[in-house]
Amino acid sequence: MKILVDADACPVKDEIYKVAWRHEAPVTIVSNSVIRVPAHPLVDRVVVSDGFDAADDWIAERAGPGAVCITADILLADRCLKAGAVVIAPNGKPFTQSSIGAAIATRAIMADLRAGAVGDPIGGPPPFSKSDRSRFLSALDEALVRLRRTR
């Protein structure tokens, strides 16, 4: 059991550490630049090159059964799901085999709308909220409990 974190823009790193320590699950923080991490035996930091999708590639190559991947990147989520990992967005919403297709389609539509392809450009996602943080804590805890039971 391990947690892989797409960390460059992840707003829930502190929450990940707390849940991981409670479950004694190792965490790997993957980023394109150095990010401070707690000095703890369960926390590892990997800094990849600043190449396009370098962090995504590193995570996808190590995702699989027994891994929980934390990412807001829908295309990375798809790659991790295909490898057999559990995938959770920082807002606590799980990516699943049954939801990823719609998420990819919505991503494409929203990219067009943000670019102004149809009408006036629109903004990005809503701001991160306390309820998102709470939903994330519950989702990560539940995912780790389920993984522990299947071992």
Mean pLDDT per 10-residue segment, the chain (151 residues): 94 96 97 95 95 93 97 93 96 87 65 61 74 96 94 70
What pLDDT is recorded for position 2?
97
Q: How many CB atoms lie within 10 A of CB 22?
A: 10
What pLDDT is recorded for position 114?
60
What pLDDT is recorded for position 110?
60
The HSE-up count of residue 68 (CA atoms within 13 Å, CB side) is 27
Those residues with Cβ within 8 angstroms of residue 125's Cβ, 6 or more apart along the chain or in another chain: none
Those residues with Cβ within 8 angstroms of residue 26's Cβ, 6 or more apart along the chain or in another chain: 1, 2, 3, 20, 42, 43, 44
Token output for 136: 């994330």
| Inter-axis angle of helices 54-62 and 74-82, nearest 10 | 20
pTM attached to this predicted model:
0.85
What pLDDT is recorded for position 90?
95
Token output for 37: 């991490």
What pLDDT is recorded for position 117?
59
What pLDDT is recorded for position 104?
64
Angle at Cα 107 formed by Cα 78 and Cα 67, nearest 5°? 25
What pLDDT is recorded for position 52?
85
Task: Tell me the C-alpha distance between 6 and 35, whole Å.
Answer: 12
